[in-house]
Amino acid sequence: MARYFDVHPDNPQPRTIRQVADLVRDGGLIVYPTDSCYALGCRLGDSAGIERIRAIRKLDQRHHFTLMCHDLAQAGHFVRFDNAVFRAVKAATPGCYTFILPATAEVPRRMLHPKRRTVGVRIPDHAVTSALLDEIGEPILSTTLLLPDEEEPPTEGWDIKERLDHVVDAVIDSGDAGAEPTTVVDFSDRSPEIVRFGAGDPTPFE
């Protein structure tokens, strides 16, 4: 049965955040809120966690996982950007964007796109997510909580708890989340290509 944490959306309780961070470090799979919608997340490099996420969402090996990062400095350890790409990403973060970029050797191979050696990076604008990332001290391996055969992500924590009670270890509820995933911008070839239109304004990358 999943643990349920009720967290204030603007002033997350430090003790609760520490409990969730400890759970992630111990190999737990969590559902947590972001500035676009709820996400599934586990510790970076957790192979069992990756397979649990694949099973819940029925993902194939080509799926781009995302590194949820606290800031660009942290992201820079895991992806490569030239100066122009860095400026473009910096201008749009934090926010509702996922950027696909070439990965460094710090990213576990099982996370990468098998042919392109790329990974998604995201810097959210959400107090709960930021507090959790700060406490953990490393990115959270994540993907949008979009369940098979459904067109929109679930938006209410209590509903997620009921539906995923026996397949995740914790649900962090900070109120209703959005139902629109991030805008995804592929910078793997340096020039931006929008591969999914979502919550982030696509205009800067068109």
Please name the amino acid found at residue 162. E
Cβ–Cβ contacts within 10 Å for residue 179, how many? Answer: 15
CA-to-CA distance for 64 and 142, rounded, in angstroms?
10
Structure tokens of 127?
């107090």
Q: Could you tell me the pTM of the whole model?
A: 0.93
Which long-range contacts (C-beta less than 8 Å, at least 24 apart) are formed by 73-78?
Answer: 74/133, 74/138, 74/139, 75/121, 75/123, 75/139, 77/104, 77/106, 78/103, 78/104, 78/106, 78/107, 78/119, 78/121, 78/139
pLDDT for 151 equals 87
Structure tokens of 52?
């649990």
* Domain regions of the chain by residue span: 3-205
Which strands, in side-by-side order, build the sheet including 97-102? 3-6, 170-173, 30-32, 39-43, 140-144, 66-68, 118-122, 97-102, 183-186, 193-196
pLDDT for 114 equals 67
- Output the CA angle 79-82-84, nearest 5 degrees: 125
pLDDT for 109 equals 77
pLDDT for 113 equals 67
Structure tokens of 82?
């030239």
Give the CATH superfamily of 3-205.
DHBP synthase (3.90.870.10)
In order of 40, 42, 67, 147, the CA distances from 52 in angstroms are: 10, 10, 17, 13
CA-to-CA distance for 123 and 95, rounded, in angstroms?
6
User: What is the chain's pLDDT, residue by residue, as a tens digit (206 residues)?
Assistant: 999 999 999 999 999 999 999 999 999 999 999 999 999 999 998 999 999 999 999 998 778 889 999 999 999 999 999 999 999 999 999 999 999 999 998 887 777 666 778 899 999 999 999 999 999 999 999 999 999 988 889 999 999 999 999 999 999 999 878 889 999 999 998 899 999 999 999 999 99
CA atoms within a 13 Å half-sphere pointing along the CA-CB vector of 26: 9
**Length, in residues, of the chain:** 206
